[in-house]
Structure 1
Amino acid sequence: MEKHSLHIKNPELQTSSEVERAVKRKERHTGEKIPNNPRERIEAYMGRLGNIFLNPDKRKHERNMEMFRDKIYDALIIKPEQVPESYFELQKRAARERGQTVEEIPQNIRDQMIETVIADQKHSLDQWVDYLTSDDVAYPAWFKYFVWRNVIKLSQFDKTLGKFKTRTESTVAPYPDIYRAPLAKILDIYERAVEDKTKLKDPTVQADFSKRFSKLYAELISESLAVKIESREQIGGKWVKYDKGNQEEADKLFDSVQAKGTGWCIEGQTTARNYIKQGDFYVYYTYDKDNNPIQPRIAIQMNGSQIGQIRGIQEHQELEPIMSEVLEDKLEEFGPEADSYKKKNADMKKMTEIEKKTKSDKILAKDDLTFLYEIDSPIKGFGYEKDPRIAELKKNRNPEEDILVIFDCAREQIAHTSRDINENTKVFVGKLEPGIFDAIQQYNIEHVYTSFPEGEIRKETITIGGKTWQELEKEMRARNIKIGDYALDMMKSKEFKTLEQAEVGDYVRLKVDSLGLQGTPTTDQIYARANELGLDLCPTEVGPHYRLQYMNQPLGEYFCIAMKQIAARDGYPYVFSVYRGVDGLWLSYDWAEPAYQWRQGNGFVFRLRKKNLKS
């Protein structure tokens, strides 16, 4: 039997405890004995990991990631006590080189530095976790596992030396950046060597295959960075379509991007073939000086009849601003399917407009600032990460001045404590404290933040009642809203109550970090803190009604309904969640056992407690 790629690279894996546990689990589930050979044992382990980290059910995938992310942090993120004294000495030396005299760094500043180190490490790990667990990445599960096991041992890539720095428990640097094309080329090397063992007799193939991951990855990154893209100002060109299911087309696609500096993972032949299995692939090539369309600039990957992803050749595969009109014209061919991508394209054009205004020292108008601070909706782009221009532009602005323009108010109309609120207040920015929501209701404060602009508290009016659970289900299905199996169980439960008459109520949506709780608070702690602040749990029927009244939810947004938990078919306690994925709008569910711990970024909807206002 052909050896598994992981067994060749790591012969000890198949006897490891984690593989043994996966084998026994599969045998219990199937009732069949797994043969005692490396390939079968490793496949059982890959199946287990795939079910956890690559689950096709989006909600189960996200729940699994929520559960495991903190464990990953705990295992791989530096602890405060591990930050070496040499790090602070380096900061003092850097300060002296800037002309500042620093004898000792105060403890509070040290604590802030440590927090920054930890936050940067978490962000860099998140990038790898999200990338390797994404449906968009057409690597086999075994390769994703192999890459992960190796990158967590690495520090940053040194572009001058062309190698990775070693990571220890006291390393303060973030985890390495993701270079997608070199990863795809590593997969090619491994796949070819395993498929045709005669190639291992080739000295070059044998040498590459036998190299440590860190060395091979570093060499391929250096090669990729050395490629220069010519004639970037050229926008004239043509679209080329590569047909689904045609391996010859996949190989043409692969050949067309070699040594072009795109950074796309289709620079790996295996990955190009995997994408062509999923759907058609479109590439826009610009003309060279001889009028030949050869420089790839935009890629559209299809997943069946749906657009899977769109990539450009900027950093993190963002679209070049000068290519936005080319893409806009092409998207017209895809009809409503392309609406979310048209929104991304419009956002990128608006970003370019604001960037040009800023460079020209022009004053940004209210609509510009509303967009930049993402007041109405998040700014979406085509790359794997947030457009870096957003942070760059905001870094040089004063939020305290901009907020006056965005909300048409004077400085004295912004309150920072409940005691500051009066009949002239238009905006509140401050910590939540008992009584704050009474004051907000009394003076009808429209804009509420714990910090601006990240800590928004959204006030919303929702109508509930007047419909049975059957009518709610029927209406959601008629509007193409997807309902999770456990969410439907909850609606059918006797614990799910509906009012006979319609009732209008006020609700707030906030994130855990706005409540002032530290760490990863439990469900009970979150509910108790909300109660202190003047917020109540939502009636059980709020979830379906909220879903029906929030049809324009941004892609990727997800939050829970704070409510008395309802048991689903498995007997565990759940709450409703409201979500929009690439496959549409969902009424879903979230496990909410009283002791379950939530992350600071998790969102909840609470009912605003009615206040008896004095006349």
Structure 2
Amino acid sequence: MEKHFLPQKYPDLAGSQPVERAVDKNIRENKKLPKEERERGPENKQDRVDAYMKRIEKIVDNDRGFELLKQKILNRFTLNIENPETLERIANGLYESEKRIAIERGQQAEVQKLGSTQEIIEKYKPLVREKAEIQKKTLSAWLDELKQNDSQHPMWFRYFVMRSLEKMGMLNDEGIDYSKRGKNTVAPFPELNHEALGWVYKKLDEGIDEKEFQPQENQTEEEKVKLQEKRQTIEKLINVKDFAKLYAFATIETTGRLNRETIEGEWKKYDQGGDYRILENDLKDKGTGWCTATGSAKQHLEGGDFYIYYSKGSNGTYSEPRVAIRMEGDSLGEVRGVNHRQELEPQLVDIAQEKYHTLPGGETYDKKAQDMKLVTKLTKKQEKGEQFTKEDLIFLYEIENTIEGFGYDKDPRIEHLRKQRNAKEDAPIVFECEPSQIATKKEEINENTKAYIGELFEGIFQKNIEHIYTSFPEGKLEKYQIEIGGKTKEQLEQDMKEQDIYVYDGAKALMNSSDFVTSKNAENADLIKLTVKDLGFSNGATTDEIYQKAQDFGLELCPAEVGPQLRLQSKIKEWTLIAMEQILRDGDPSVFRLDSDGGRLKLDYYDARPDERWYDSRRFVFRLRKFET
């Protein structure tokens, strides 16, 4: 592992308990190796921290390990609004802030005078929850980068970034530093800018590039002085390893200066193994937001060819980078644009699609292209005041499929469109019914009810209601009817192989267990997918609690074969667990888990001990209970 500054930056790190555990694990694993393959154990602080970095790397590379780590960090770094004292403190703070601003503006009469603490909490609770969710969303972007690591940064740098983020609040008015984050800070985490992040890494890893600060003949004396002052500032920040100030500085340095007046352009190819400095130089000072511009070009060209679409600049040359296509060996790795969080500009989707269709694996990006075209179509319809059809609304509200894009986040146009809609008025259009046929309470359900939107209750799934939502549009309970039985374990394995479904060793172990039994006769199984929160557990719940509550609602556990059968018969991509009688794997009670990586569907396992606690966002698939008629 390359040498780094973590032991010096964090003097207590090498002797901390997490590092101690990593070192112990390293020693134990080393002893299992043949003598000739054994390495000397960690002997100094640098070695000990390196052992810890390797341990984190293994955790991050493992899907389950990363998920646990991510939730742990989210819980530690973000607002804990489930704590009554925290909720009260933040609600009071928001109230006092609103009151102070109103007084400063001479609007005292507009401030509602709330009496009791409980009244203040009730009024501001939704706002506090909203701010907590925004914190989780902005921090998740950084954590997902820790996992994906498209920039190919070493673990020591990713660790340094995460430790720094814990203390970073809002960017100050001058834009040169961040305020300190405390346990009651309601501000979101800084926005992730891959180009700025790459700039920081390059400066910490390589130091000052003297060529960058060479005075030019056409510069005035004042400009030369400012250039050297800038150099001294950067050098000082590098020496003290101040990520917050370096990142703030980098955000300014990588501010976009792209000319987007035209889409006329041409593609330029950078060959694998070529001079990465040419690629870096072509992107310099363009503000694309791509990590390739500031430190990752070398790794990217080591991994494969790189294509960039340049549009015409003000000088008439093709100099404005607008679309990037990165190859991983012989397969397409990613397609990025220069809009928010590297989304493609709508007018360039066709150009990108035409190009990636000429490359291996390009067809896997067609859904993204189609979805972005549909978002553009709806944006134009909204601007013209045209009516949205049922199909338009199903797409916009992601009722049947998730809207995909080319960037790291959702295209902001989606949220903008939704904010202009009235979900209550749109619901009857989606359900093709009258407003009176939509019930929101148990008492409102009758023989004409076509949809129910509200809290679940015992017997809800036996009411023969076509559409069930806990909230509209995001709370849809997905139903699946699949066929189970009639196939052996070997046939299921062969079917998944033919469909190119990746089956993890853990899932294979469950299928090889004597407790995994398939029915001889084929039959239909009606399934439903819902979250822990849908079941009424807003603060999460244990496996046993989830199973019991589902049974109270008229659901039952799935036969184990539902795992591979549902994987074969559905396109579920998001992390989804099969609610089933656990099967022991290496002594741990486990269940099947459905997942995906890019366009490839996967079948995995997950530990599900009876007392295992699940977050409210976890999705489980249950079987609808069959009743004798």
Same fold (TM over 0.5): yes
- Cα distance, 1:109 vs. partner? 1.0
Q: Which residue of the other structure, out of 601, 606, 625, is the alignment partner of 1:585? A: 601
For the residues of structure 2 that align with 1:596 and 1:610, how far apart are their CA atoms? 28
Q: Secondary structure at the match of 1:538?
A: coil
Q: Which residue of the other structure, out of 336, 353, 356, is the alignment partner of 1:331? A: 356
Q: Note if 1:88 corresponds to 2:95.
A: yes
Q: Structure 2: any 5+ residue segments left out of the alignment?
A: 32-38, 214-230
Q: Secondary structure at the match of 2:410?
A: coil
The residue aligned with 1:52 is 59
Give the fraction of aligned pairs with identical amino acids, expressed as a percent.
38
Q: What does 1:418-433 align with in structure 2 at a 5 Å threshold? A: 418-433=442-457
Q: Secondary structure at the match of 2:576?
A: strand
The residue aligned with 1:217 is 247
Distance 1:324 1:185, change over 3 A: same
Deviations 1:157-191 (A, max 9, x none): 13544321121222221222212212111111122
Q: Secondary structure at the match of 2:204?
A: helix
The residue aligned with 2:218 is none
Q: What does 1:59-70 align with in structure 2 at a 5 Å threshold? A: 60-61=62-63, 63-70=64-71
- Cα distance, 1:37 vs. partner? 3.1
Distance 1:318 1:170, change over 3 A: same
Deviations 1:267-315 (A, max 9, x none): 213x111122222111111112343111110111222222222211112
Q: Note if 1:468 corresponds to 2:477.
A: no
Distance 1:574 1:79, change over 3 A: closer
For the residues of structure 2 that align with 1:472 and 1:3, how far apart are their CA atoms? 48
Distance 1:329 1:437, change over 3 A: same
- Cα distance, 1:223 vs. partner? 2.5
- Cα distance, 1:347 vs. partner? 0.9
For the residues of structure 2 that align with 1:123 and 1:285, how far apart are their CA atoms? 32
Distance 1:353 1:490, change over 3 A: same
The residue aligned with 1:563 is 580
Quick check: 1:3–1:38 contact (8 Å CA) kept in 2?
Answer: no
The residue aligned with 2:477 is 457
Quick check: 2:234–2:246 contact (8 Å CA) kept in 1?
Answer: no
Q: Which residue of the other structure, out of 166, 169, 172, is the alignment partner of 2:186? A: 172
Q: What does 1:254-269 align with in structure 2 at a 5 Å threshold? A: 254-269=280-295
Distance 1:218 1:290, change over 3 A: closer
How many correspondences in the alignment? Answer: 589
For the residues of structure 2 that align with 1:298 and 1:572, how far apart are their CA atoms? 47
The residue aligned with 1:484 is 504
Q: Secondary structure at the match of 2:402?
A: coil
Q: Note if 1:598 corresponds to 2:608.
A: no
Quick check: 2:527–2:624 contact (8 Å CA) kept in 1?
Answer: yes
Deviations 1:491-510 (A, max 9, x none): 12111111111111211111
Give 2:626's aligned amino acid.
K
Quick check: 2:42–2:51 contact (8 Å CA) kept in 1?
Answer: no
For the residues of structure 1 that align with 2:349 and 2:74, how far apart are their CA atoms? 38
- Cα distance, 1:378 vs. partner? 0.6
Distance 1:184 1:389, change over 3 A: same
- Cα distance, 1:425 vs. partner? 2.2
Q: Note if 1:538 corresponds to 2:564.
A: no
The residue aligned with 2:47 is 40
Quick check: 1:510–1:605 contact (8 Å CA) kept in 2?
Answer: yes
Q: Note if 1:500 corresponds to 2:556.
A: no
Give 1:210's aligned amino acid.
N
Q: What does 1:82-481 align with in structure 2 at a 5 Å threshold? A: 82=86, 83-84=89-90, 85-94=92-101, 100-104=110-114, 106-193=120-207, 206-211=235-240, 212-225=242-255, 227-230=256-259, 232-246=260-274, 248=275, 250-269=276-295, 271-334=296-359, 337-440=361-464, 445-481=465-501
Q: Which moved more, 1:404-413 or 1:523-532?
A: 404-413
Distance 1:299 1:482, change over 3 A: same
Give 1:333's aligned amino acid.
T
Q: Secondary structure at the match of 1:333?
A: coil
Deviations 1:26-83 (A, max 9, x none): 0111125424234322221110010112x1xxxx32x123323332233222344344
The residue aligned with 2:72 is 71
- Cα distance, 1:468 vs. partner? 1.4
Quick check: 1:235–1:286 contact (8 Å CA) kept in 2?
Answer: yes
Q: Secondary structure at the match of 2:614?
A: coil
Q: Secondary structure at the match of 2:541?
A: coil
Q: Which moved more, 1:258-267 or 1:358-367?
A: 358-367
Give 2:111's aligned amino acid.
T
For the residues of structure 2 that align with 1:339 and 1:88, how far apart are their CA atoms? 52
Give 1:484's aligned amino acid.
Y
For the residues of structure 2 that align with 1:501 and 1:144, how far apart are their CA atoms? 52
Give 1:214's aligned amino acid.
A
Q: Structure 1: any 5+ residue segments left out of the alignment?
A: none
Give 1:360's aligned amino acid.
K
For the residues of structure 2 that align with 1:4 and 1:162, how far apart are their CA atoms? 25
Instruction: Give the superposed CA RMSD.
Output: 2.4
Quick check: 1:580–1:586 contact (8 Å CA) kept in 2?
Answer: yes
Q: Secondary structure at the match of 1:594?
A: coil
For the residues of structure 2 that align with 1:516 and 1:315, how far apart are their CA atoms? 35
Q: Secondary structure at the match of 1:456?
A: coil
Distance 1:3 1:377, change over 3 A: closer
For the residues of structure 2 that align with 1:101 and 1:204, how far apart are their CA atoms? 45
For the residues of structure 2 that align with 1:238 and 1:300, how far apart are their CA atoms? 13
Deviations 1:64-106 (A, max 9, x none): 2332333223322234434454432112345675883322263
For the residues of structure 1 that align with 2:269 and 2:426, how far apart are their CA atoms? 46
Distance 1:588 1:79, change over 3 A: closer
For the residues of structure 1 that align with 2:195 and 2:324, how far apart are their CA atoms? 14
TM-score after normalising by structure 2 = 0.88
The residue aligned with 1:510 is 530
- Cα distance, 1:205 vs. partner? 6.8
